[in-house]
Structure 1
């Protein structure tokens, strides 16, 4: 791993209420210290986008082991190789960033839209795909994209489509459903977009940061791209950090940066950390943890601190996850509702709530129509494991003695 800059040398900048920082050298966030990059400033910062072939993209992605920057962290080269030689219908940019904590994709779309467009348009030309579709649920991001498109002449059909902001609406198959005029829920049948995507034809779909990283990779080449980060997965990554921290926001770091370095720089309070958002997992300690994919999942770090009730915080999030159900299978409709009740009873000292939670958590994984029940179960299972001491205090009837401060943000909730 390359040497990480000391905290004294780290740089930060505020962007109209959305703070971003950089550990090491800025790449996807380059130039944002002066605000939004219009086309002229984008080209001055990054240079022109090279014209690459499909084989060029495959070779570059293989050389650096580039993974998608959404929750699945699927190797980009494998996704490209799974597409047919002809007949690719569209390149889809999934900007429906519905995880309530994540802000990295919105930051790119609102402040560096041309970098994302370069990645998507360059790949579309290489794949000979006639359409680029950008699914966005944030109004400011959609406006920024449409303004950027007015500055460009890509000679390609590019559309910005508005999507709902619900949690499951950001799942790839839910995005495709919305783009085709359907509802924003993932269908029960799990088919890869590379085989059956937009209009049931082969489609390359990935999230916003993936396309920004592709644009950087195309410019730097594999050697330049690999000059920072892990040898096994070089480059940089965007992380959103929130919770019990003094400096929340989006941070660009080399891959493999120690979690403690990021927590120290963000001014995090000591305590448990949630890695990967509300489909992620809790960590009881952070010593020796390196931030890399797929472990870092959607690039979200939440510090809980020590002043709030962990079980109360988790129950609040469980209730929100239940409200975000697609409503199309038993694990979502009944399983998540049962778990909310289980955790609420556990929190007030009902031992049967603990037993019921264990039973229900064992029944949910692998049975849902989409990944939402599995992700919620993973979040809650790791909470019971990491907060075991707190569980015992609550079951003793004494409680943990701490109020529920709302450190974990949920839409419509208080902080």
Structure 2
């Protein structure tokens, strides 16, 4: 059985909230005395997502309208056996990949974009602002806002804005406004440019600009594509579908891998399985694959820090490189973030998740291998997970173990061909 598909009726009816099952207490968000960042949250987030952000309820019902939109956007997604890749590697391991690239926007991001747009619409909001790195999140929110008859403003990290022009085109097709961050349209953007006119932009700066925009208009909310608890929650449709699909295949995962930038696709893929692990129903290794260019989990500090550069977000306990960190301008723009989901960070700190940093040339090499065997071009971000999945399969080749490896295929790379072109030409660092 190569491709395991579920029916539309099998889309999960509830999101899974791992906050109910954490092995230790979740570190509360904090604020500075002068910043009052917590007090600003109701001004920039919908009532629905704020309730979910702070909830410890194990399962939260998915609204009917959101489930209908999930169906329209192609859920459930397939789970595929990577038999050709297995044969190429000559490994006894079984490799499966969950195809989140089959959505109209080509990645997992619609799972939370639809939910966040829905709750904002319920509050009577007219526009959402957001940041985006490589463009997958900005594309997803532009489409979700268009579905809900709302406007969308996307502050896109300048280096990615220049590297990936067709991401901008797609956002505009979905009626999104796209600005290269830092911009001259916000006070913080102007401050950054005054200090460094050639600033390449970072997700931290783009978040600051998007929040400032939302704070200045009562008909506008801000929407975040990763990091926060409600975003992790919405993505758990991925893992819940995968549980059903592996059951159909008669398999139990031994290794689960996903890439991490802010943590959303990783959380979505593994959190439902993490519950099984905590309940001692499975014995699985969970690996979070990050870029060596921005090694938040493997080299960052576990401490309280702002989620943005200007300090408009609450203080969050997470692994961080520092909120003013400017990562190198590599091609995995979706993973160039200084911090990490506090939920993912907590599980790493408790030793339940293994972080692993991988080099840029190695991830593109793995992407080429995957494309030539399975026929699908992975996004550079996704290639980090594929690289680690291949490493685990090759380890099985050495040991003879017949492990089941599950990789979350978070998005396709058909709009990221400049990176592949540079790799094939030998131009990458």
The answer to whether TM tops 0.5 is no
Which of 1 and 2 has greater Rg?
1
Q: What is the TM-score of this pair, normalised by structure 1?
A: 0.30
Considering Cα pairs closer than 8 Å and 6+ residues apart, tell me whether 1 or 2 has the greater RCO: 2
Q: What is the TM-score of this pair, normalised by structure 2?
A: 0.30
